[in-house]
Amino acid sequence: MASEADITRQLTALVRARTGDPSARISALATLPGHAGQSYSFELETAGGPPSRERLVLRLAPEGVRPVGTADVVRQARIMKSLEGTAVPVPPVRWLDDDPAAFGRPYFIVGFVQGDKLALGEREFTAEEQRRLARAAVQTLAAIHSVPWEPRRAVWGDPSPLVKEMERLDALLDRPMLDPKTTVGAPELRERLRATMPAAPHIGCVHGDFQWSNALFADGGVHAVIDWELAQIGAVLIDLGWLCLFSDRDSWVDRALVPPHVPKPEELADIYREFVSWPVSDADLRWFRAFAGYRFGAITAFNLMLHRRGKRPDPTWEDIALSSPLLFEHGRELIG
């Protein structure tokens, strides 16, 4: 992994070239948390024209990994840029480039957005604040789904059918090196999901990982939606089911993973219905909630395997994996 001294040197050269200010400098470089790549916040000072100082974020593709899928950070930046001017709050994109000349890999730079997270925030929210912010998050989710997707197809890609999403997850679960304890009940849920798959789900822009850790809250609302690496055009209820999963204590061994005062899944769905123009049936909601459990269970089993094999060390998956059988069981209950 590149050292902070290397990043500082490379970043200084980049901002001087981008701003045209040979005296531009950076300071306060700090590593940000995350898994898909490396992220840093920093201060940029320029003197060309009126002196200015601003806080920005650099996101780099993972080292030694092909920049495709979740590692394609430039695609993430282009997706955020495609949402500028809509009702969806995203960090302002300053620069992006596929060319590895600057850092040896692709990158993007966006404005730093100040905000707290309901799940991982630096301060505690009251019950009333959590419910108000949860409502704002669901309204933002509806805004994402209401953005016209056809004009953004070149950036977001072609619509991905549900059967393809199932196949991707099946590929994760069908690996022989998974711990069998983490996949108990998965085959049964898979068959039920296949047998009851919605025939014509509403299609739109999908964030792909819309949950409490990926919305930054301030001043009573959502200031920015972050982490767009799983964005796609697809069935929009993938997102609602995912948010419901992270609001459903019955899906987790460690119930503290769910913010204590966010509305229950059924309430979140009622809020969502207020802000969208298409119907959301109870049967479809149950299916997508079950699909979310199957999806996260598959991701958990796969990531635990990578951790234990030393491919992608992250001991938090040991604790999260305790919930895998429960995720599959609760999913079966939802559509049983």
Closest CA to 95 of 210, 13, 207, 181: 13
State how many domains the chain has: 2
Residue 124 in domain = no
Q: How far apart are CA 239 and CA 223, in angstroms?
A: 19
CB atoms within 10 A of CB 188: 14
Do 150 and 264 belong to one domain?
Answer: yes
Of 48, 80, 111, the residue at which a domain comes to its end is 111
pLDDT for 63 equals 85
Residue 226 in domain = yes
Do 100 and 184 belong to one domain?
Answer: no
E strands along the chain, which residues?
25-32, 38-46, 52-60, 93-97, 107-111, 203-206, 215-218, 221-225, 232-235
Contact 182, 324 (CB under 8 A): yes
Helix (H, G, I), strand (E, B) or coil at 130: helix
Do 105 and 235 belong to one domain?
Answer: no
Residue 119 in domain = no
Do 179 and 75 belong to one domain?
Answer: no
Contact 160, 253 (CB under 8 A): no
Do 84 and 197 belong to one domain?
Answer: no
pLDDT for 334 equals 97
CA distances from 46 to 15, 24, 30, 43, 134 (A): 9, 5, 19, 10, 38
State pTM to two decimals: 0.94
Residue 121 in domain = no
Do 73 and 171 belong to one domain?
Answer: no
Tell me which residue range forms the domain holding 65: 4-111
Widest pairwise Cα distance in the chain? 66
Residue 315 in domain = yes
* Kind plus residue range of the DSSP H or E element containing 302: helix 282-308
Residue 55 in domain = yes
CATH number for position 9: 3.30.200.20
Of 60, 80, 111, the residue at which a domain comes to its end is 111
Do 145 and 243 belong to one domain?
Answer: yes
Residue 327 in domain = yes
Do 30 and 144 belong to one domain?
Answer: no
CATH number for position 319: 3.90.1200.10
Residue 52 in domain = yes
Do 93 and 142 belong to one domain?
Answer: no
Of 67, 83, 111, the residue at which a domain comes to its end is 111
Do 215 and 306 belong to one domain?
Answer: yes
What is the token pair recorded at 296?
A: 């996260």
Contact 289, 327 (CB under 8 A): no
Do 105 and 158 belong to one domain?
Answer: no
pLDDT for 17 equals 96
CB atoms within 10 A of CB 289: 27
Do 148 and 66 belong to one domain?
Answer: no
Predicted confidence pLDDT, tens digits, the chain (336 residues)? 778 899 999 999 999 999 999 999 999 999 987 654 589 999 999 986 666 899 999 999 988 888 888 889 999 999 999 999 999 999 999 999 999 999 999 999 999 999 999 976 667 899 999 999 999 999 999 999 999 999 999 999 999 999 999 999 999 999 999 999 999 999 999 999 999 999 999 999 999 999 999 999 999 999 999 999 999 999 999 999 999 999 999 999 988 889 999 999 999 999 999 999 999 999 999 999 999 999 999 999 999 999 999 988 999 999 999 999 999 999 999 998
